[in-house]
């Protein structure tokens, strides 16, 4: 099975990949396509995942893509981990929430629903 991770150069990727490395059941993810506009961060992430896979038998194969269509092609599942506006966008979301006296937290707080 192929998993495409949109925003694949982000900090969540090693956490997801770590879980995939422990899964050896039939129907498991065997391919991971990291899709992100930042080629440099993608290359760094690919090295991090390669380090994680050291010593693991038959780890999911990782590919990196700046072209969204290419990365999503053939995906059985798409995981979206994008942060629109990057970290600057997150900081703005959090400051807006705080200016109104509410937590700007990015998942269930103001920053997560903005």
8 A C-beta contact, residue 34 and residue 13: yes
Write the CB contacts of 81 (distance below 8 Å, at least 6 apart in sequence): 5, 6, 7, 8, 10, 12, 13
How far, in Å, CA of 111 to CA of 51, rounded? 33
| Binding-site residue ranges | 90
- Specify binding-site residues for substrate: 90
């Amino acid at each position: 099975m192929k998993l495409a991770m949109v925003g694949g150069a982000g900090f969540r990727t090693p956490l997801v990949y770590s879980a995939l490395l422990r899964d050896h059941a039939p129907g498991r993810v065997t391919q991971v396509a990291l899709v992100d506009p930042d080629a440099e961060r993608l290359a760094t992430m690919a090295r991090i995942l390669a380090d994680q896979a050291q010593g693991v038998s038959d780890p999911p194969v990782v590919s990196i893509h700046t072209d969204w269509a290419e990365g999503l092609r053939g995906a059985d599942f798409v995981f979206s981990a994008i942060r629109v506006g990057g970290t600057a966008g997150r900081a703005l979301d959090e400051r807006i929430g705080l200016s109104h006296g509410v937590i700007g937290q990015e998942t269930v707080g103001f920053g997560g629903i903005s």
